[in-house]
């Protein structure tokens, strides 16, 4: 079962998440940038990154699909959010396994 789904040619629904630490506390995104990374799970698709937005709520991020951001082939994709903190350090969410699953149909 995918964590999110979108139909080819659509730009809604957006992907959104609240990024939390190991204690389930929203991470502090002040001074940070966030990117969405996608790679093919069941299709040939090299990992690509897209600029995501912080929504203003603690730990909350989103990605609004754009013409250059939606894969052109239906299938399953692994996704992760990558935070670059003001210090230059990076952290991925989720930070283990393949990430969350997005179905494009």
Q: What is the CATH number of domain 4-104?
A: 2.60.40
Q: If you write DSSP's letter for every residue of 40-78 in order, what string do you get?
A: ESSS----EEEE-EE-SSTTEEEE---TTTS-SS-EEEE
Give the model's pLDDT for residue 69: 66
Query: pLDDT tens digit string along 6-64?
Result: 998 888 899 999 999 999 999 999 999 999 999 888 887 887 888 999 998 999 999 99
The more confidently predicted of residues 66 and 27 is 27
> In the chain, where are the structural domains located?
4-104
The mean pLDDT value for 62-80 works out to 84
């Amino acid at each position: 079962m995918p964590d999110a789904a979108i139909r080819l040619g659509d730009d809604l629904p957006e992907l959104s998440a609240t990024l939390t630490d190991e204690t389930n506390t929203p991470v502090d995104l002040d001074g940070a940038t966030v990117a969405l990374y996608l790679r093919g799970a069941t299709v040939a698709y090299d990992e690509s990154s897209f600029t995501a937005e912080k929504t203003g709520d603690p730990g909350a991020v989103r990605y609004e699909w754009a013409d250059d951001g939606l894969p052109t082939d239906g299938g399953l994709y692994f996704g992760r959010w990558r935070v670059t903190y003001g210090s230059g350090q990076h952290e991925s969410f989720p930070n283990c396994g393949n990430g969350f699953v997005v179905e494009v149909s």
